[in-house]
Amino acid sequence: MSPEPTSPAGRPDRPGSRRLPAGVRLAGIGDEAGAPLAAQITALTTLGWDTVELRSVDGVALADLGEVGFERMVRELAAAGLSVTCVDSRIANWARPVTGDFADDLRELEILAARCARLGTNRVRVMSYPNDGLPEARWRVEVLARMTELTARAEDAGLVLLHENCAGWAGTRADRMLELLGHVDSPALRLLFDIGNGVAYGYQAADLLPDIAPYIAHVHVKDAVGTPDDVRYTLPGRGDCRVAEVLSRLLDHGYTGVWSIEPHLDVRPHEGVAADGDAVTAAFVAYGRELERLVAGLVPAADGTAADGPAPGGPASGDPAGGGRRPGAPGAGAPGADLPGAGVPAAHRPATGDPGTAA
């Protein structure tokens, strides 16, 4: 793809006022722009964004990269000026049901703890174990036990696990997300909210926000139309997932942090879809530009009109989470300032520490 004109600093030189809501940065899951690290770096730097979410490089999951390949990746990201906001693990995901070997997840967490330290991030995306024939009650017991152990180990390692509304026991229901947070009761477990995942699972993700917004620490931007049997992914704002409304409501709840694109246009790991090439990278960039335009409408300019686009990068301080919030937004501080678990309503806490105890 032909790169956009760049400024002397190496970032795209685009005219006009470009701003983001206070305390918000834009990022993307790199391998959605292509498997090679070079494609991922090209996409993010073409957009002028300074942070990336990592899932795989050259088709290899981050935890499975050899040491030589991993160190090369660290050097090349640094040379490109890209920080890492989060790493997306396979822990408890759609390919690891609740009946699988728990040792696989413990091993991956241990590897990622060391690699996150090298990458300068402490955030690891997880899910909550799809069922594989267990009775509902037993599924719940096993999930809560495993997530408690994973979170304890994450906390010891200085990590924060981000549970995504995707595959697993707590993947689609706000009450289960709150029960999970309440049971584990640790600052090392928070929520990752994917705006577009509901279409594939038959629910409207936006409807979860009133209950879970205070505990959201990271956001995936995705949009889609269709049904669970026929999902078609779209540019942000072109589908049925109410992307602009969700982002606006997150700001109203005081959200600061990263909005990370996961287009799913050409790369969908759960479906075995992994296209590559310049066209895939260009589509990722176009998706990012569409999000910039959408976000611009959420930021009032000084004269009361919307700016024509947000600025790349983030807060001048370099703090990924930032510290500001939209003027007039209720509440104070970053979302999840009440520690996940500690701030969960008592009704969603188990009566004892036994994962089998009913909430």
pLDDT, tens only, 110-157: 999 999 999 999 999 999 999 999 999 999 999 999 999 999 999 999
pLDDT over threshold 70, residue 218:
yes
pLDDT value, residue 109: 98
Q: What is the DSSP letter of 5?
A: P
- Do β-strands 123-128 and 189-194 pair in parallel, antiparallel, or remain unpaired? unpaired
Q: How far apart are CA 128 and CA 180, in angstroms?
A: 9
pLDDT value, residue 273: 55
pLDDT value, residue 277: 74
pLDDT confidence band for 299 (50 / 70 / 90): confident
**pLDDT higher for 11 or 208?**
208
Which residues lie below 8 Å from residue 270, measured CB to CB, with a gap of 6+?
Answer: 94, 95, 167
Q: Which fold has domain 24-348?
A: TIM Barrel (3.20.20)
pLDDT over threshold 60, residue 326:
no
Helix (H, G, I), strand (E, B) or coil at 309: strand
Q: What average pLDDT does the segment 39-55 reach?
A: 97
pLDDT value, residue 18: 56
pLDDT in tens, 13-46: 343 335 799 999 999 999 999 999 999 999 999 9
Q: What is the DSSP letter of 169?
A: T
pLDDT over threshold 90, residue 213:
yes
pTM: 0.81
Note whether 64 and 105 are within 8 A (CB). no
Q: How far apart are CA 275 and CA 71, in angstroms?
A: 25
Angle, CA of 97, 352 and 186, to the nearest 5°: 65
Q: How far apart are CA 217 and CA 325, in angstroms?
A: 14
Q: How far apart are CA 179 and CA 170, in angstroms?
A: 9
pLDDT value, residue 3: 40
Element holding 285 (H helix, E strand): helix 278-296
